[in-house]
Structure 1
């Protein structure tokens, strides 16, 4: 079947010739394709155990079909809904406070004219992204420690009582949101700075000649210029609302804050690996993935209708 570009049809032979001409680029892309096939598409075969009573001894195929039994258990269970509530509260907090942070930081860095200072700030801010949550959680707990933490030391200097931030129901969620911002803001800033570099410099020059202030140039040139990138990143962020950061919360969670900190990821871990109820855990994961797909699809359609920018 011929490919259509505008009103001109490109014959299949020419398309194949173009593919062959770019064969080395496809070869470079091959590891990425293999990664998604091996770790994302082949494991989808195991999603069927959400509809079975899975026993490792007999295998996936020989396990008995039970329909929506595990989903009924999921929606009628007493532990799933608190985990879902905590997931949504923490994720919306990250979206509200964490999503604008890299945009604001990128706008500020774009206005810095001292290149050495700019590069230093960029390096310091995105360095935490490359550190494991096992290490970062230890740093967070050490800094916020009620006995030897820097934060509580400062609070005591002002005559305040020390606070056990990680073990407090009132402070645990802000700690999760704040530490996530600390880790990811600098890394996400790279994306927005790259989008800013694609804006035509002549627009800034013309605005400066017309007497526009820095704030006006940001408001009327920079923000509209990176709007498509903001929209795409927002779609990804909305899709991740129900997909909590398991590594972060698992390493900071403790018995004192289970009521406010237990999320779907940690709940699935306990049910699936500790209690070895693989079918039920798969049903929880499948429910979460379906909701994420619906959120991404809805946000993408809404964005395409309102702004004209979307993923597809």
Structure 2
């Protein structure tokens, strides 16, 4: 006669509270393993949330959080009435939309191409090469860009001059700035972005490919009709998360590439927060700008998730 443990239930058949405690005790080693990551999120993500309240204050480090004067939405009104607001919004959105349209699809395409490589040695060699730029800092990436695109000593301009063309100033031309940023992001992180997609492709049932081959499908049709539909959920989730960061531009990259000639197309919310918050000490105002960005990102995530669910996808939640 087996001695099974009976888990008490209430009248509706739901587990009682002490059954949850039993589950916690049973899986205590797994929760202990997750404890460092949970502590990281609590300390660095959730506790600092209370700091956004200073965006509704005239915060002074000398008076502290509780004694600073409350001003309501004054800082937000100042932000929206600032003549530079539309310029900051235009630049931030333009850079991110270019990344979304040009950068986001490339890891998917690169993953499909790598998946078709049958020579494992060559495949791993290519993967190592495309992963490598991710580990370089933006200082190095921008330095390489200057060495290549500088009007006086850049390699590209020297090649143009050798071919009989006139030199072109890439770094101070407002029409090229957004494209250069996008190209840098693609070169740095396109290879690294293939990791998730290659893992998703590896989980595709091989029998689907066999069935497609029996129906006469070639490599291209297999990728289009088998691989892409099977990893569609992963693509949608990453797209939603990417849309949520559409107000975030890499501060370090833009700040290092910015100069006086391109400031009108280079100034974004991140660099503006740095100037107003760090250099000028306007902590409450810069926090209001950051909170505005976060709220817009949250709205975009919720809206995009609702939209993709209307099209029959699973979404993030």
Q: Same fold (TM over 0.5)?
A: yes
Report whether the alignment pairs 1:204 with 2:214.
no
Where does 1:28-43 land on structure 2 (aligned, <5 Å)? 28-43=33-48
Report whether the alignment pairs 1:129 with 2:153.
no
Given candidates 140, 144, 153, the residue that maps to 2:149 is 144
After the TM superposition, which of the residue ranges 231-240 and 135-144 deviates more from structure 2?
135-144
Instruction: Write the distance in 2 (CA, Å) between the matches of 1:152 and 1:119.
Output: 34
Offset of 1:202 from its aligned partner? 1.0
Offset of 1:25 from its aligned partner? 1.6
Report whether the alignment pairs 1:67 with 2:69.
no
Give unpaired runs (5+ residues) of structure 1. Answer: none
TM-score normalised by length of structure 2: 0.93
Given candidates 42, 45, 48, the residue that maps to 2:50 is 45
Cα contact 1:122–1:186 (8 A) shared by 2: yes
- SS of aligned partner of 2:60: coil
- Give CA deviations for 1:200-220 in whole Å, capped at 9, x if unaligned: 011111211221111110111
Where does 1:110-129 land on structure 2 (aligned, <5 Å)? 110-129=115-134
> 1:194 corresponds to which residue?
199
Offset of 1:259 from its aligned partner? 0.5
Report whether the alignment pairs 1:178 with 2:178.
no
> 1:85 corresponds to which residue?
90
Offset of 1:304 from its aligned partner? 1.4
> 2:4 corresponds to which residue?
none
Cα contact 1:145–1:152 (8 A) shared by 2: yes
Cα contact 1:80–1:267 (8 A) shared by 2: no
Give unpaired runs (5+ residues) of structure 2. Answer: 1-7
> 2:107 corresponds to which residue?
102
Offset of 1:99 from its aligned partner? 0.7
Instruction: Write the distance in 2 (CA, Å) between the matches of 1:14 and 1:158.
Output: 77
Instruction: Write the distance in 2 (CA, Å) between the matches of 1:65 and 1:208.
Output: 68
Offset of 1:152 from its aligned partner? 2.1
Tell me which structure has the larger Cα radius of gyration: 2
- Distance of aligned partners of 1:204 and 1:262 in 2 relative to their CA distance in 1, 3 Å threshold: same
After the TM superposition, which of the residue ranges 165-174 and 228-237 deviates more from structure 2?
165-174
Instruction: Write the distance in 1 (CA, Å) between the matches of 2:164 and 2:283.
Output: 51
Query: Pairwise CA RMSD of aligned residues?
Result: 1.9
Where does 1:205-220 land on structure 2 (aligned, <5 Å)? 205-220=210-225
Offset of 1:8 from its aligned partner? 6.6
Instruction: Write the distance in 2 (CA, Å) between the matches of 1:207 and 1:23.
Output: 45
- SS of aligned partner of 1:28: helix
Report whether the alignment pairs 1:57 with 2:62.
yes
TM-score normalised by length of structure 1: 0.94
